[in-house]
Amino acid sequence: MPTPELNATLVKREDLNEYLMVFKARFSDGPVPEFKPGQFAMIGLPPDPNRVILGKDGKPKKQPALVRRAYSIASAGNNADHLEFFVILVEDGELTPVMWKLQENSPLWIDKKIRGDFTLDDVPEGKDLLFIATGTGLAPFLSMLRTFGPHRWRRVAIIHGVRVSPDLGYRTMLEQFAKENPWFRYIPSVTREPEDSPYDGPRGRVPLLLTPDRFESLAGFPLDPNDAHVFLCGNPAMITDVEADLVKRGFSPHSRSKPDGNIHYERYW
């Protein structure tokens, strides 16, 4: 198969700290193809030629022409100008250390076939939505919020679980959004923040925020399986743990064969 050409350009890069970045990319030959909020794009870059990747047998692996990985789109579904991504550096990873060397105007490959089922397609209008993200798992929810409005849902709460408060990407934007929209609550939570830091929001892993009383006081609505759909994105262990808790509370997993389920998830690894 011929190597695809680097068909896009990084047009804006914002580093939130040394390991988190938001970047925007444009296709060189036309607008962003249509996609649904919640979907992801494959991004590819030539591998680091100085890096030796060992296979399962312990021998050096043949490097692909492009290292490709999936990234949820953070920009709105109707933004045909560019795609926005929220990415964390996995220091021993194959792609992200190469991605971190990109500068504005650097070329990259983005698959024009945008994919994924982590969308609102099977959610009826007028439901309560709970979006739960760890780390950069926030991205698909940003796309949903930037695309749809209150006609699409009744109430929305986002829980964003991170290690330390500098990892709360988009915090200012989401706090402002909550001030402007009474149907929306933003609930950050940190797990490794120093006790003496000025951060004064919730602390603890996501499941601690989901006990019925705590959740209702934070979100402004009860978590009722008859009224709500829950979307989980990011760390696979978080998804497994929260899903087990929700199933005990009467929720059921959504899948292609069970489209009426109300737990939706996207595992990042």
Ligand X SMILES: NC(=O)c1ccc[n+]([C@@H]2O[C@H](COP(=O)([O-])OP(=O)(O)OC[C@H]3O[C@@H](n4cnc5c(N)ncnc54)[C@H](OP(=O)(O)O)[C@@H]3O)[C@@H](O)[C@H]2O)c1
139 interface partner picked from ligand FAD, ligand X, none, CB below 5 to 8 A per type: ligand FAD
91 interface partner picked from ligand FAD, ligand X, none, CB below 5 to 8 A per type: ligand X
Beta bridge partners of 22: 14, 86
Number of residues that bind ligand FAD (CB under 6 A): 19
84, 94, 128, 193: residue in contact with ligand FAD (rule CB under 6 A): 94
Nearest residue to the partner ligand X, using Cβ: 135
**Tally: H helices and E strands in the chain:** 6, 11
Which residue, 91 or 196, has its beta carbon nearer to ligand X? 91
Q: How many residues does the chain have?
A: 269
Which stretches of the chain bind ligand X, using CB under 6 A?
Answer: 19, 88-91, 134-135, 161-163, 167, 191-192, 205-207, 235, 237-238, 241
Contact between 249 and 223 (Cβ < 8 Å): yes
Sign of CA dihedral 101, 104, 105, 108: positive
- What order do you get walking across the sheet with 8-17 strand by strand? 67-72, 40-45, 107-110, 8-17, 20-27, 83-88
Residue 168 lies near ligand FAD (rule: CB under 6 A): no
> Which runs of E-coded beta strand occur in the chain?
8-17, 20-27, 40-45, 67-72, 83-88, 107-110, 128-134, 155-162, 184-190, 228-234, 263-267
The span from the CA of 81 to the CA of 27, in Å, is 8
130 interface partner picked from ligand FAD, ligand X, none, CB below 5 to 8 A per type: none
Q: 130 φ, ψ to 5°? A: -115, 115
Residue 95 lies near ligand FAD (rule: CB under 6 A): yes
Q: To the nearest whole angstrom, how small is the minimum distance from the Cβ of residue 197 to ligand X? A: 14
88, 110, 206, 228: residue in contact with ligand FAD (rule CB under 6 A): 88
Look-up of token digits 């990747």: 53
Q: To the nearest whole angstrom, how small is the minimum distance from the Cβ of residue 104 to ligand FAD? A: 19
Nearest residue to the partner ligand FAD, using Cβ: 93
9, 119, 136, 262: residue in contact with ligand FAD (rule CB under 6 A): 136
Footprint of ligand FAD (CB under 6 A)? 40, 69-72, 85-88, 90, 93-96, 136, 139, 266, 268-269
